[in-house]
Structure 1
Amino acid sequence: MNDLTIRAAERYDETGWQVVPVNGKTLAVKGRTGRTGSTESVMPTGNQNIAIRLPRGVIGIDVDAYGDKPGADTLRRLADKLGPLPETDRSGSREAPSGIYLFRVPEDFESIGELPGIEIIQHHHRYMVVEPSIHPDTGQTYRWETVGETPMWESGPDALPKLPDAWADFLRKTNAVVPQRRSEDATDDFLTGGVPCDEVTRVLDRYNDRTGNGESRYGSMIAAQYRLMKLGEDGHPGVGTAMDTLEGLYLSDVDGERDATGEFNRGLTGLYLIADEPLNDGDPCERDPRILPDRLWNSRDSLRHIRTAAHAQTSSADVVLYSTLARLSSAVHHGVRVVTGVKSPASLNLYVAVVGRTGAGKSSGGSASRDVLGDIANPEYRELGLGSGEGMIEAFMGDVFEETGETTKDGKPKVARVRKQVRHNALFVVDEGHELNKVMERTGSTVAPIMRSAWVGETMGQANARQENSRNLPAGSYALGLIVGYQVNTAAALLTEDEINGGTPQRFLWAWATDPNIPRKRIDHPGELKGHALDGSFFPGNVPPLMHFPDDLKDQMWEYQWKRATSEESEENPLDAHSNLMRAKVAALLALLEGRYDVNHEDWELSGIIWDTSCAVRDFVHAEAIETAKREKERASAERIREAERTALATTNIGAKNKQLAKALTKKVEDSGGIGSSELRKTLHSKKRPLFADAIEYAETQGWVSVDENGFITPVK
């Protein structure tokens, strides 16, 4: 036991908090918790951690917002329903919003126990591990995040803010009213009726996959319940049936080890308390798959902000989001990488192909993303067009003067102009994709291979013998984004067999420029998005971070790559070859939009929605290209047939004329007894002379005349 832990435990006890020792997070003593436990402190010994048991009149709202735990979303939903919570001190070993938030309540107050991703710590229920304890799983130190300079706990429980009345009424156990659960004919709550759609059944498949891989059965069940609730809110059919199926699976998996029915029903009770009414805007399974669904936009404040900003400018929300991610990828510190557990840490460089009909707002949607992020403070950042592969490299270059190591006659150092990298951030915007197509089609063009290298952050260019002509960007020395506007027919140039084999279209997110959800009435712009992570001062020690995925997602990506590397499985669609890497980039950028440098399960889930929607746009363009090529082939074939018919008809007509002319010429040969070809030809009208050779050939093949080697024609008797 170190002195710091001893002093901390004594300080908690002196300021009115009951101390209890824990091994890791497990209570190390008996008779000190629950409704009848003693309120006397017990000091930790050895390597034990410190926990405190809350007094009556204090509750802790314990939010789990890491991995796929939905505590942050539940907290947001409750704030929307009940109003914001007052600022208070937070204790935890993870980044906010995870942690325990303390509030004063009446001494006789008793709360419900749990909500999705949130548990309520009370005098009789649980305890909280506190600073300077060490989390047994992550090795992170528990710490207090205080509102003021002095931690509230040091002034005792009375210093805590009061839980607002609306929250107290909602959480009070005696007030919690939960509708009777129904599994059939559920039409007015999230347990929707009908046959489960594919989206709903995939939740059950995911539960089976997780438990089959040894993940927590309880955690997998809670995650599946929550996902089903969100699908029910979106109006997907069959959620009631799927929830019943999930219960059966969970009870079978636990198989009497504990009160599985009680665990399942408590989770369901929490869903009822936070769920919104299902949307009533048609079957979500029949929505346009090229447009991002409402469940993505409603999942986070940052995404709702971007959608509102887009609609305030009558722009496609999808285009503005994708463009914002590309802009973010180009403006973030070039050293930021995401660790997927597969190969080297990946760059965040992102490309977006905005596809739409003429007048669909492809360019305006991209420019609207500027108003979302505001001015980029990075002085090295540039935004420019793209004319060639070398131009992409040149955007990062500049002239500098460096000492050569030599001196002038008067002893001053000689300097020479050198071409080298002078910046690290650039966004390339091409309003008309057909211009980029022209560049790519030029003989010897390097734009496509350079684009492919830049997407993964590899070395670009080459070092020339003359330094002033060198264009070389080392791997990892730059951050960039690319936004290209296409019409449907011009976007097809990215989807040719050569480009697919080269890997170009696989490196693009595809956005549909039409947005049927733009409101009819004008709405106000919400202003710049706050809280995103573009400021380099966020880096501890000014060192850009490596962004990590949770270990289970790293394992998932490793398994995916292993199967393909060992030929265990092959990619069914070559256009999906970079799906995991693309999703990793998008997930990391979504985390940065939230001001986080760690990637969680929700980021990954949302990246999957974006990927699926992007694929729908890409596949639509590809299908249109194939159909257009098919129609062109059919048109060309029909034209060839028509030409053949015209030729056959002409041949038929010419043959009849030749036959008549051959008979006439034969008569002349017979009358003359023999005649030379030139002389016989001259007997014809000038218009018929071009037919002479064919007519004589026809007469000869019919055995009417004979032509010798000198061209003399005689009749055949």
Structure 2
Amino acid sequence: MADLTRKRGRRRPSPRKGHRTPFASAFEAYQARGWSNTLLLPPRKKTPPPRGFTGWGGKAVSEKQARRWAREQPSGNIALRPPQGVLGIDVDNYGDKRGGATLELWERELGPLPQTLVSTSRPLPSGIRWFGVPVGLGWQDVGDGVEVIHEGHRYAVTAPSWNPLSRTRYRWVHEASGETIPLEGLPRPSDLAQLPVVWIRALSCEAGSPAVVDAHAGEAWLGLLDDEPVCAKTCRLTEDACEELRGGGSRHHAMLVGSARLIRAAQDGHRGVRSALRILRDAFEHAARDRPTLGEFDRAVHGAIAKFTDGPPAARCWCPTPRKQRTRSEIPDRRDGSAARRRGAHRPRGVRPTASRREPLERDR
């Protein structure tokens, strides 16, 4: 008879419920609480999201679709695309990111934010603070280390997903008490704290919904621009925009401002804007290489066209054309020219891109 008292090898503790199957174990709880746009991500990863379900033109996630994802890849991470009327203020306060200091500066200027629901995988103040906001507004980022998440921009990886960078699980926290909130007790979007009016005025901008931004009309307007050498003003705007992207602040905001200024210049007849937009797109994708851009640049350009143009571009400007036209490999960086030339960094004044073919700016991929 076998010796039943013999010690056996130590068994590994089984993971807590839901940790092996974040998506399959959580999507129903989220949808029951009104957070219906549950997105499937690869297991233990933050990207990529499923195609066609993000951005202003993204489809809503049906219960049938979510169940299909849960069957096909139950161990996938889970993310949320915010519903209408919800804004997330995403604070990164770790490593060389100083989002906590940025948030403090804004709170001194605008007044403190109400304590609210936070999703995070790190200690506070890192995390996404969720607020109710008016429907129909566009939003801009706060500043260095603080970005916004809304229906038309980005998504949030949430509990019980695994963060491969912090090597911890995401969780929901009540900011006031610091207590972890189970999914069954998650507030509905309509129950979130409201973003104060002064903050709404500071962060909101003209709406960027599909009704306002027409991608086909935007590409048609871009087709009116010639691929020709950039003029002096276009060179300066492109250089300034690329410098902003390297400045350590919000990359998305720098790209929004830079692309809008170039579209305004094109409307006024300044030359080489189509080529300059390609340069700015390359710079943005290089700066944001740690996360997928998900067609952000296209949407920004099409939005700027919808907002700042009122017909075909004006007659050509009389700006001088810079004499020196360099290739992409000769683009210096103000901070370190030799290093920038080796990696083909961003273009300063007087640079013409080598591409001459007309093509859509970027497809959402």
TM bracket, shorter-chain basis: 0.3 to 0.5
Larger radius of gyration: 1
State the TM-score, normalizing by the size of structure 2.
0.48
TM-score by length of 1: 0.25
Name the structure, 1 or 2, with higher relative contact order (CA <8 Å, separation 6+): 2
Higher helix share: 1
